[in-house]
Amino acid sequence: MRVLVVEDDHRIASDVAKTLRAAGFVVETASDGEDAWFRGDTEDFDAVVLDLGLPHMDGLTVLKKWRQGKRTMPVIALTARGSWMERVEGIDAGADDYLPKPFRMEELVARLRAIVRRSGGHASPLITAGDLSLDERQMRVSVGGVPVDLAPLEYRAIAYLMHNQGRVVSQAELSEHIHGTADAYDSNIIEALIARLRRKIGGDIITTRRGFGYAIEAQVP
């Protein structure tokens, strides 16, 4: 899952990015409102952590411009503790959640996972597709109850496909959301990654749509 962290305090931004990467997210950062608005308006992120007190363009304005531009990625607004008016304005502007500073990193991770799940229509941190299960809290994947040993990149790939069940994900999209924009897209690398996953979780769970990409079929209740 690809996340944009928008924070002008470099120490906080570094700590948040480090924590989120350890939790399995692909993290990119922005330190001012204008850069954040442009990146959120032109790139695809699975979620944004947005400080409302930003230079050049404040966070509320950034958020409003995103929503006016039909950008629907979930957003957690970071606010000053005790500033209830700012929190209300953030929610009214389109924030999906808020977190007052200072905050515990564990709470940020939990809230971020929750808004990403909800945006994909998943209520529980345990996401399933047939015998395949993804436990976000433990960062663990299992098949038929048996844990599967995955490398970090393999985990990010299966997590992204699980969150997007029933939708075909192109190779370029998958690459962007598990690597970030800094890495060049290479179809051979993605094909090799999917091949490794199929060997570990079973060959029929991830389907290939020739010329389109990969999918994990949504389960019919």
Which residue type is seen at 7?
Answer: E
Contact, 154 vs 193, CB < 8 A? yes
pLDDT higher than 60, residue 221: no
Average pLDDT over residues 206-210: 91
Q: Is residue 220 domain-resident?
A: no
pLDDT higher than 60, residue 182: no
Q: Is residue 221 domain-resident?
A: no
pLDDT higher than 90, residue 90: no
Confidence of residue 107 (pLDDT cuts 50, 70, 90): very high
Q: Are residues 102 and 148 in the same domain?
A: no
CATH assignment of the domain containing 164: 1.10.10.10
Which residue type is seen at 121?
Answer: G
Q: Are residues 6 and 86 in the same domain?
A: yes
Distance CA 19, CA 24 (A): 9
Contact, 152 vs 26, CB < 8 A? no
Of 156, 139, 217, whose CA–CA distance to 190 is shortest? 156
Distance CA 6, CA 50 (A): 5
Q: Are residues 55 and 136 in the same domain?
A: no
Q: Tokens in use for 69?
A: 């531009």
Alpha helix locations (H) across 69-132? 84-93, 105-119
Task: List, in order, residues 6 or more apart from 145 with CB less than 8 Å away.
Answer: 133
Q: How does pLDDT run across 48-78, given as a tens digit for each residue? A: 999 998 999 999 999 999 999 999 999 999 9
Q: Is residue 161 domain-resident?
A: yes
* pLDDT value of position 183: 57
What is the percent of the chain with per-residue pLDDT over 90, rounded to a whole number? 74
Show the domain range for 132: 126-215
